[in-house]
Chain A
Amino acid sequence: MYKVRLLFEKLEPACYTSHLDLMKALQRSLRRAGLPVRYSEGFNPHIVLSILIPLSTGYRSVCELCDFELTCDDMPPDLVPRLNRVFPLGLRAIHAGPAVRPVSQAAACEYEIRWHGVCCAQQVLTALSDALCVEKRSKRGSKQVDVRSYLKSFDAADREGDTICRCVVQAGEDPLNPAYLTLALTQSAVLPQDVATTYTRCAILDANGKEFF
């Protein structure tokens, strides 16, 4: 038995695949690759697979992590290229290794947010120098939060006719979807309504700010 952790990219067009559909796509890819994956027991056997930190549909990512189990004791050395041969367009395996650290040690995610066709980095930074409140909804109801309390760091710059913000956002128990930052900035009139926005997850970090794997 070997528990694999896979680091992979999810870019266009795979970024439009939803979380559940991605699970299925990964399971099918594992079968196509002919890897000796472990199935669940019981009435409806399926490949045991988990995606560590779900990503919203439409978001790009260069740092997705998923775990699955092999029935053999060692990881095939060609696992990454074998997966890449059978992945749908936009998915690319980068690295695989033993799944050791529990997901609870993933403390934050770094995102790049690109607001298209605007030039407002300075206004964004100014808005973030003070409390920036927004209504955050979750399964347990909604509450008013200060977006800044979720941001471990942030920066913004204007480039190529867009405003690009890089920020490290709290993950774990009480995560914040970076779309709330766009929403808060729209509500405070820093960003125009319906601004075209691209989100890219750049890294998953542990409590020390080091890359989590």
Chain B
Amino acid sequence: MNNQLAACLEHVKKPSRYTGGEYGSIVKDKQAVDVRFAFCFPELYEIGMSHLGSKILYGLLNSMDGVWCERVYAPYVDMEREMRARGVPLYALESGDALSSFDILGFTLQYELNYTAVLNMLDMAGIPFYSSQRPELTPLIIAGGPCVYNCEPVADFFDIVVIGEGEEVLPELIALYRAARSAGLSKKDFLRRAAGIQGLYVPSMYEVSYHTDGTIAAVAPTGGAPAVVRKRVIADFDKAYYPESFIVPSTEIVFDRAMVELFRGCRRGCRFCQAGYTYRPIRAKRPETLEKQARALVDNTGYDEVSLTSLSSSDYAHLETLCESLVSDFEPRHINLALPSLRADSFNLNLMENIQKVRKSGLTFAPEAGTQRLRDVINKNLREEDLQNACRVAFQAGYNGVKLYFMMGLPSETDEDLLGIASIARNVLQTFRENARNRARGVRISIGVSTFVPKAQTPFQWCGQIAQEEIVRRQQLLMDALKIKNVTYSLHGWKASFLEAVLARGSRRLAPVIEGAWRRGSRLDGWDECFDLDHWTQAFAECGVDPAFYANRTMGKEEIMPWDHIFSGVTKGYLRREYDRSLQGLPTPDCRISCGGCGALSLTGGKCDV
């Protein structure tokens, strides 16, 4: 460790997030590798290190001969200040080498409010922001992650965007890069070849033209790029690469545990949920595979908790047998099983009691909306009696707290729907009073309410977010209604949700705005203490962009959307049908009951593990 870096670390909080050296981090011989890949997470270490996808890709890339993948996270404000003051460039944790010395920088785009952190990381590495300002093949700046389903606001910054599952396409991309480098290809020629690989989107090969009202006239592919970029998916998920060990951080992170992934995709079709559509089709792992992976992780990491993750874990067909088998192995070893993402209508107390023999955690359900009418509109096929029933069983078993998550500002929402949230809270309180094993201990009901952000590639992609004044009014209404004994609530600030809505459905015209906000000091917009909407308001004004055009406008049925040339597998026609059903208040049965023909089967040739 050099003296300059040591001097930085003397003056910052949580220095161990900047040092590397964690157990399980992979150090290779620089001379023995020919591709150096920097996995860049535009968030703080404790967030980035919690992310399962990064762990999978880190393991996969490092399993390839000649490839060394290292990690880079966004520094917190104090560390950035120290580094800039001492002229320390952004570096990768494994080697400590400056980011500018890498061949490929791969950014994961998990959240729209991370976009300024991408620019800040490039700036701290001395790398120009726009793909067009980087004529050489190296360094290649690429991106992946859930935001790629509309990455147009940041498209101009990246050379290539990976649409779909990185496990599937990154090895091909690296092979192509190697071949291009040894053949001395220009960046342009390399990109042209890359555009021929399914799942690789080369933004510079698409010309976007606009109508005078700011809507899109056309997105024209050039140089032989496909008109529509199709998502890449793993066909046989059970056999897909999965790491046998994780990096075990030396400081606390958000999800500090081993994780196995039960399945990808979700059969529920909640209309607001981007992941529910973009991870289709559903592909599950066999329980034997999961057992093996969980055991390997526990043995190799020393973690005392394993989380069974997915978008809706109680929908996993073999959940009970899997849990029984894991518990019988793990309980004597004091290893806990965690089961997030449970649905109240499939809540099974036997299962919960069984898996929580070691440590009992809290209960969390997400009814999302306060009335049955609105839950039908969003296709959250959950009845209040299911929720109260789950709470009753849990309270009888000795639980004395529950967290409930809701959204406000959903399409067609009325004040009655909002007040329904308070009514659910009161009913849960009543359920506790009637059923609690020990009423004297009291109950804690926590209500979290976020503001709905319409996302690309969902049935609600056409919808505008409600206006700011209306968000403020509805939040006030909720705050008054939620003043109930034993109930605590938290409402997300509207400013960040508004910006998220702008970026989530934005076009390429937002790139200079993002740069402008960064120039004004925006860095870590996902953190309340760092976020300042004024930076953005000034940047919008400077660029002549009206943010409400993107955030609040309901888009026309025939309108070309900024992301129409990115195909997640679910057709626009299906999304539109779902949108129309939502307007009529009609729910759609989940995929196990009947296949709705969303289109995702075309990606795997007909395989879907509903």
Contacts and interface: CB of A to CB of B under 8 A. Distances in A.
A29 B23 CA distance: 9
A86 B302 contact: yes
Interface string B322-347: 00000000000010000000000000
A88 B250 CA distance: 8
A196 B7 contact: yes
B248 interface: yes
Nearest to B358: A45
A196 B3 contact: yes
Given A28-B302, A31-B302, A88-B248, A13 B21 contact: yes
Interface string B242-284: 0000001011100000000000000000000000000000000
A86 B358 CA distance: 25
Contact of B3 (A18, A24, A116): A116
Contacts of B359: 43-45
Nearest to B15: A16
Contacts of A20: 252
Nearest to B359: A44
A28 B301 contact: yes
A98 interface: no
Contact of B9 (A16, A24, A29, A43): A16
B6 interface: yes
Nearest to B25: A89
A30 B16 contact: no
Nearest to B304: A31
Contact of A32 (B9, B15, B300): B300
A25 B360 CA distance: 23
B10 interface: yes
Nearest to B14: A18
Nearest to A34: B299
Contacts of B23: 25, 28-29, 32, 86-89
B372 interface: no
Contacts of A30: 302
A20 B14 CA distance: 12
A17 B250 contact: yes
Contacts of B14: 18
A46 B303 CA distance: 12
Contacts of B252: 20-21, 24
A17 B251 contact: yes
Determine which residue in A45, A88, A90 has the highest number of CB atoms from chain B within 10 A of its CB, and name it: A88
Contacts of A196: 3, 6-7, 10
Nearest to B20: A13
A27 B304 CA distance: 10
A39 interface: yes
A21 B251 contact: yes
Given A16-B19, A88-B21, A196-B7, A29 B302 contact: yes
A120 B248 CA distance: 42
A58 interface: yes
B593 interface: no
A24 B23 CA distance: 12
A58 B8 CA distance: 11
A14 B302 contact: no
B16 A13 contact: yes
B160 to A, nearest CB: 33
B301 A57 contact: no
A46 B358 CA distance: 10
A12 interface: yes
A32 B301 contact: yes
B156 to A, nearest CB: 37
A25 B24 CA distance: 12
Given A32-B301, A43-B359, A45-B358, A58 B250 contact: no
Interface residues of A, number: 33
Nearest to B251: A21
B183 interface: no
Among A29, A32, A58, max chain B CB count under 10 A is at A32
Contact of A39 (B1, B248, B334): B334
A165 to B, nearest CB: 17
B1 A12 contact: yes
A49 to B, nearest CB: 13
A16 B302 contact: no
A58 B1 CA distance: 13
A30 B1 CA distance: 27
A88 B16 CA distance: 12
A93 to B, nearest CB: 14
Nearest to A37: B334
Interface string B10-38: 10001110111111010000000000000
A100 to B, nearest CB: 27
A27 B301 CA distance: 11
B248 A28 contact: yes
Contacts of B299: 32, 34
A62 B402 CA distance: 47
Nearest to B93: A13
A155 to B, nearest CB: 24
A14 B15 CA distance: 10
Contact of A16 (B16, B301, B304): B16
A13 B19 contact: yes
B430 to A, nearest CB: 28
Interface string A44-68: 1110000000000110000000000
Contacts of B303: 28, 31
B12 to A, nearest CB: 10
A20 B250 CA distance: 10
Contact of A17 (B16, B304, B358): B16
Interface string B350-373: 000000001110000000000000
Contacts of A16: 9, 15-16, 18-19, 250
Nearest to A33: B302
A20 B251 CA distance: 9
A32 B10 contact: no
A197 to B, nearest CB: 8
A116 B25 CA distance: 31
A30 B18 CA distance: 25
A117 B458 CA distance: 60
A86 B248 CA distance: 11
Nearest to B245: A32
Contact of B21 (A28, A44, A90): A90
A87 B359 CA distance: 26
Interface string A136-170: 00000000000000000000000000000000000
Given A25-B250, A58-B9, 17 more contacts: A13-B1, A13-B16, A13-B250, A14-B21, A17-B250, A18-B14, A21-B252, A25-B23, A32-B302, A39-B334, A45-B334, A45-B359, A58-B15, A88-B250, A116-B3, A196-B7, A196-B10
16 contacts: A12-B19, A13-B21, A14-B21, A16-B16, A17-B250, A18-B14, A27-B302, A28-B304, A31-B302, A32-B299, A44-B359, A45-B334, A57-B15, A86-B23, A89-B21, A89-B23
Interface of A: 12-14, 16-18, 20-21, 24-25, 27-32, 34, 39, 43-46, 57-58, 86-90, 116, 196-198
